[in-house]
Amino acid sequence: MKKIIYLLIIISFVSCCKTESGSSDERKNSIQTDLNNLNVSILIDLSDRIDPKTNPNPSMEYAQRDVEYIKTIEKGFLNHIKSKRIITYDDQMQIFFNPEPSDPKMNELTKELKVSFDKNTSKDYFSSVEKKYSELPSNIYQSAIKDDKYVGSDIWEFFRNKVKDYCIKDDRRNILFILTDGYMYHEDSKFSQEKKTSYLTSKLIKSFHLTTTDYKAEIEKNHLGFVKANDNLNNLEVIVLGINPEKGNPFEEAVIKEYWENWFKEMKVKNYQIKSADLPSNLEPIILKAIKG
């Protein structure tokens, strides 16, 4: 009798272990599924950095570079989805501006460029997304250049008031691409707290004498940088593309990157990369790798 009872206890214990192991595996699979679902956002800086008259570039205009970057982001996004089973589709991608351009057509374009995939998505939808992203981004830049009213890009305010609502979902891997030259300025969000600012211009860099090899020490000693715009962005990955410093200060680019890096660290951004303006063919592997994770 004792042997039978002992045997029943062992069987019960093994069964419990299997159940706990199974539930643990289910939790792991659930977490993996969430991380495998993408929420990709693209924030476009439509300031005068894209103006072909103010900032011409014979090899490839900056607006065209942005368009090609966006196509590559879309390519990486679709490649990711195609690598999954249809039943696991739960991914989305969208484009933002801040502030919105004056052209009312922009709202319609952004609606068209907000795309999402779920288990009921048809195969034809892939080609529809490819078509949209091969045509519409160019229309956005052409409209902004034609409008010729470059009011700046309020990236600081976007991070302060919109990034959590627009770009972060609890059940996704959240990636935000920012297409900008690295300078940050908008008259509606221009302020300072001691020596930290909500903006960054070439004039400001010169005023702080960040023009020598000691720029990093000067930043640390004087507590320079962007004013923190948010907290605990630990569920967000950010890739900044297009850093393009003005000529004349050999340390300008390094200063811009230092400002952005410190800002992301202070806001506890999960992962980040800051890349200089380059030909799209050179940045394509970096963009695709960032999306692939």
Same domain, 232 and 87: yes
Task: Give the predicted TM-score (pTM) of the model.
Answer: 0.88
Domain that holds residue 77: 37-292
Same domain, 5 and 113: no
pLDDT at 21 over 60: no
**What's the pLDDT score for residue 246?**
96
Domain containing 203 — which CATH number?
Answer: 3.40.50
Residues 6+ apart with CB under 8 A from 43: 95, 96, 97, 98, 155, 158, 176, 177, 178, 179, 180
37-41, 185-189, 194-198, 255-259 — which is least confidently predicted?
Answer: 185-189
Region 48-57: mean pLDDT is 95
Give the tens place of pLDDT for each residue, 225-244: 999 999 999 999 999 999 99
Neighbours of 230 (CB within 10 A): 19
Query: Domain count of the chain?
Result: 2
Same domain, 28 and 44: no
Same domain, 229 and 266: yes
Region 103-122: mean pLDDT is 93
pLDDT at 224 over 50: yes
Same domain, 9 and 66: no
**What's the pLDDT score for residue 152?**
77
Same domain, 11 and 118: no
Same domain, 68 and 15: no
**What's the pLDDT score for residue 279?**
97
Same domain, 146 and 22: no
Same domain, 7 and 139: no
**What's the pLDDT score for residue 20?**
41
Region 202-207: mean pLDDT is 97
Query: Among 124, 125, 143, which Cα is nearest to 63's?
Result: 143
Same domain, 122 and 201: yes
Same domain, 253 and 176: yes
Phi/psi at 226 (nearest 5 deg)? -80, 145
Same domain, 254 and 144: yes
